Amino acid sequence: MLVLGIESSCDETAVSLMEEVAGEVQPRLLSSIIATQIPLHRLYGGVIPELASRNHSVALPEVLQQALDEAGRSIHDVDVFASTAGPGLVAALLVGNTAAKALALAAGKPFIAINHMEGHMLSPFINRPNGLEPHLALVVSGGHSLIVNVQNHDDYTLMGRSLDDAAGEAFDKVAKMLDLPYPGGPEIDKLAERGDPKRFDIPRPMIHEPHLNFSFSGLKTSVLYLLPKLVENGNPNNLDEQTLCDLCASVRQAIIDVLIKKTRRALNETGLRLLAVSGGVSCNQGLREQLATACANDGVELLLPPNSLTTDNAAMIAFAGLLKARDGQFSPLDTPVDPNMKLAGYQARA
Ligand code: KG4
Ligand code: ZN
């Protein structure tokens, strides 16, 4: 079975081909092409939905062809067409989704609508030889921070989530206040490597509360109040380099501390011994290192996908599509895109 995945929910146009080979648990990732629009949106300090949508339309035919060429397959070989149906920017979602449906219709092959967060959540298993296993998922992206007990690809229990800003959003908003380029997460991460995480006392919201939800919106407020104490008029461009690095390191550490504390608590509560981390924020160097240390101490196996599978990509969409196709979970062609899509098979914790 050959699955073609398309991702266009935000500012990456991506197409991937993944093949299931008889007798092998692990599907083969044949290609994963990503055309990023980040340099374009950087000019405006954030994603402009109309520009994103227009550029997906421009980029998609070539990205599709490249994905087929790299896989050495023709569009006629594809058995299933999968595409992100939400959550995301509605006009951006429509481009990839409509393309996948049109291809499925023309080829007389099935279509599968995929939840973008489900794609992220399952992505650490793309390269895992023994396939999907019950695990705890920490999904940290630009729009969501989730802790999920995953028993199977359609059996999830939500244990915790961000009640306001997601972790990536907190990075991006603080970066904007510091006049750093979009997206801010990688910029803060880079500067933090040269900074002292203990220099500034940044709040760790809800860290001691017994539930597993997050709240990161207070971080930007604390930076807002801190800046005028550090430089005249609070102008971040007047910060000396070391202070900027120390501030980034302190903010990064606050986010990491909360994420790790809640994740450890969820591991203890569930007894799960496998942790899979996904979403753009899982590229964070500090988070990766400190999670590795925490998991080694706790006897927990840690799955961290490579960065190319961590930020938005279509391999995760093809993979989720393949798992659903195995179970015959196809979607009608009139399935709408849903910018606020919730995970199916999802139950809140009792
Ligand atoms: O998963 P993703 O590519 O898109 C969404 O589904 O949102 O995540 C993008 C987010 C952005 O907020 C970006 O700043 C953040 O991931 N990000 C990082 C790093 N690389 C990307 N955050 C912290 N450190 C990084 N190295
Ligand atoms: Zn994403």
**145 C-alpha to center of ligand 1: Å?**
11
**340 C-alpha to center of ligand 1: Å?**
19
Separation between Cα atoms, residue 294 and residue 21, nearest integer Å = 36
Question: Sheet of 346-348: strands edge to edge?
Answer: 301-303, 274-278, 135-140, 145-152, 155-161, 346-348
Within a 13 Å sphere around the CA of 214, how many CA atoms are in the beta-carbon half?
33
Separation between Cα atoms, residue 259 and residue 291, nearest integer Å = 9
Whether ligand 1 lies within 6 angstroms of the CB of 87 is answered as: no
Whether ligand 1 lies within 6 angstroms of the CB of 312 is answered as: yes
Residue 345 pLDDT level (bands cut at 50, 70, 90): low
**100 C-alpha to center of ligand 1: Å?**
25
Separation between Cα atoms, residue 150 and residue 272, nearest integer Å = 10
What is the dotted CATH code of the domain comprising 135-304? 3.30.420.40
Whether ligand 1 lies within 6 angstroms of the CB of 86 is answered as: no
Mutate to test the pocket of ligand 1, among 8, 171, 312 (most ligand atoms within 8 A of CB): 171
Whether ligand 1 lies within 6 angstroms of the CB of 205 is answered as: no
Percentage of the chain surpassing pLDDT 90?
A: 92
Mutate to test the pocket of ligand 1, among 256, 283, 304 (most ligand atoms within 8 A of CB): 283
Q: What is the pLDDT of residues 151-182, one digit of tens each?
A: 998 889 999 999 999 999 999 999 999 999 99
Nearest Cα residue to atom 23 of ligand 1: 185
Whether ligand 1 lies within 6 angstroms of the CB of 279 is answered as: yes
What is each CA distance from 87 to 326, 338, 342, in whole angstroms? 23, 6, 8
Q: What is the pLDDT of residues 315-325, one digit of tens each?
A: 999 999 999 99
Whether ligand 1 lies within 6 angstroms of the CB of 8 is answered as: no
CB contact at 8 A, 100 and 85: no
Whether ligand 1 lies within 6 angstroms of the CB of 12 is answered as: no
Domains 2-127+309-348 and 135-304 share a fold: yes
CA angle 98-183-321, nearest 5°? 35
User: What's the whole-model pTM score?
Assistant: 0.95
**109 C-alpha to center of ligand 1: Å?**
34
Instruction: Report the mean per-residue pLDDT for the chain.
Output: 95
CB contact at 8 A, 182 and 130: no
Residue 350 pLDDT level (bands cut at 50, 70, 90): very low
**250 C-alpha to center of ligand 1: Å?**
18
pLDDT score of 25: 84
Whether ligand 1 lies within 6 angstroms of the CB of 141 is answered as: yes
Separation between Cα atoms, residue 199 and residue 240, nearest integer Å = 14
Nearest Cα residue to atom 21 of ligand 1: 280
Q: Which amino acid does the sequence have at 9? A: S
Whether ligand 1 lies within 6 angstroms of the CB of 305 is answered as: no
Q: What are phi and psi of 61, to 5 degrees?
A: -55, -40
Residue 346 pLDDT level (bands cut at 50, 70, 90): low
Q: Is the dihedral of CA 207, 209, 213, 217 positive or negative?
A: negative
pLDDT at 143 over 70: yes
- Nearest CA to 98 out of 344, 346, 336 is that of 336
pLDDT score of 347: 59
Domain positions in the chain are 2-127+309-348, 135-304
Nearest Cα residue to atom 2 of ligand 1: 280
CATH architecture assignment, domain 2-127+309-348:
2-Layer Sandwich (3.30)
